[in-house]
Structure 1
């Protein structure tokens, strides 16, 4: 995950750098050319525009792939669960790179709302929205299931509920931006560019936010459990086991023994304690 985070950081930095490069070219180098900066920035064919949107498409697909991987892990590596998200990822790859490839074939006057582009762009945006909703919903539902199953055994606050909130809060930001972007593009509004450019860094921010917030939450919970364990005079390591780190309720166990007493003529009695483990009875002498 650290390597993926670094890759997303590099892609987001390159995307911002290309936007700055295009702004400088448009408002400095091309300001006196026919049409000015507006004509330059609306031209889809230059290499810098194609490269910028290729970075965006790649980042979006990488974010979808990470979300699918997380779903696969949370659902016990079940391929059935990620079948639909996997198909959507393939559709996203085809439509995204198809758009970038078509840019090079257009003349400078072609708009981003050209009929040759609209169905591919709408497909890419729609798949991104649906993919985000499905993967987030699958992860949230799995965590909710685990939280409900452990509710009757634990004491205190559930450690899974904050994780659920973190997932929903972090993923909802990207989902909202992608939904608004799809709506604006479908309505043929140029203000869709205002939502398009932040998507690339938001993919990395969402990925990093979920990872860091859950890690910090786990570290905070571990620290609290360690302090509580030490104040009770118990080893801190005893709090950690295969059941996770959920504080459990105490379970009462009743153990019964069968005792048989034999009397003798001199008043001495012998008491036998039944031992079901080895099936033997050992006599105990009592006055």
Structure 2
């Protein structure tokens, strides 16, 4: 479908409709995600000292950006179809690429991907026991992606002409943003999956030696991360394809990406929480009823190898659960367990 057969006024109306659908999913998933972060399973407020405020702040920031994107989309449609009376009608208004609403919507996209991709890098950093060397390349890709994104916003704000996102000055930077996003998400997800599977194999070897079943919990974490990551990655790929073909469907897809980032983020919280109490075999009895979480270790053992049948004791303390807080009412009792169970 060419741009002429899918004009920009039609594309923007369809984009608003698509946003409404996904924003409804944002409301549900963010609401449930906040319940996971702020309340325990028995309905008790966790208390200020037991809440991961970084994750709460990130969730609220992504929700705010998603809400602003919805508002800007509605304002733009109202301006074009109701209030604008100048030449070109609705198409003329929507094609003004330097219109403040267009610029703010692009800024929303850049800000949302900055937060979402930053969380992916942070997850990788925590999973590798805060070894910054592992995330050097993802961080550089993340920063380059963000820089290209804000250059795109600047160019869009200063063009002052009738154009779409495939305007020749914008193409190199938007292409860079999407390419770097895909590269960064693929690398970080691959690193996280590799790390978890490596630890799972070590734990499984120990369990096999003891005649126990395997550890299905860590495999489930891998599946959750991959599936949630694919939601975001596939949406970016679709956006990339529509952009490269100069199809006005890119407006609807890019708007949906802004909504999908908080959805995929909070789905990890929800799915881990929903499967925590009885997910088949557990590594040990002490963690069979605990939610899966990744802990940072401050004991200077970065990159230490685990031999089969070994369960080292770490003096480090748990912190920064990147997927979810501890939902158990006996949080302090769990903190006393230093064994290397479903943690990395």
Scaled by the length of structure 2, the TM-score of the pair is 0.64
Alignment counterpart, residue 337 of structure 2, candidates 223, 237, 241? 241
Distance 1:220 1:21, change over 3 A: farther
Q: Deviations over 1:101-129 (max 9, x none)?
A: 01122133233212111001100111111
Q: Distance in 2 between matches of 1:220 and 1:48?
A: 48
Distance 1:245 1:148, change over 3 A: closer
Relative contact order, higher structure (CA 8 A, sep 6+): 2
How far did 1:216 drift?
3.0
- Please tell me whether the aligned partners of residues 98 and 160 of structure 2 are also in contact (alpha carbons under 8 angstroms): yes
Q: Distance in 1 between matches of 2:198 and 2:91?
A: 52
Does 2:216 match 1:156? no
Q: Distance in 2 between matches of 1:183 and 1:153?
A: 46
Alignment counterpart, residue 21 of structure 1, candidates 64, 75, 79? 75
Counterparts of 1:1-287 in structure 2, within 5 Å, are 1-30=55-84, 32-154=85-207, 155-158=212-215, 159-220=217-278, 241-245=337-341
CA root-mean-square deviation: 2.5
- Please tell me whether the aligned partners of residues 204 and 214 of structure 2 are also in contact (alpha carbons under 8 angstroms): no
Structure 2: runs of 5 or more not aligned: 1-54, 290-329
SS at match of 1:87: helix
Q: Deviations over 1:258-279 (max 9, x none)?
A: xxxxxxxxxxxxxxxxxxxxxx
How far did 1:244 drift?
4.6
SS at match of 1:241: coil
Q: Distance in 2 between matches of 1:10 and 1:190?
A: 26
Structure having the higher strand fraction is 1
How far did 1:219 drift?
4.0
Structure (1 or 2) with the larger CA radius of gyration: 1
| Paired residues, number | 237
Scaled by the length of structure 1, the TM-score of the pair is 0.76
Q: Distance in 2 between matches of 1:10 and 1:112?
A: 24
Q: Deviations over 1:136-157 (max 9, x none)?
A: 1111111111111111222234
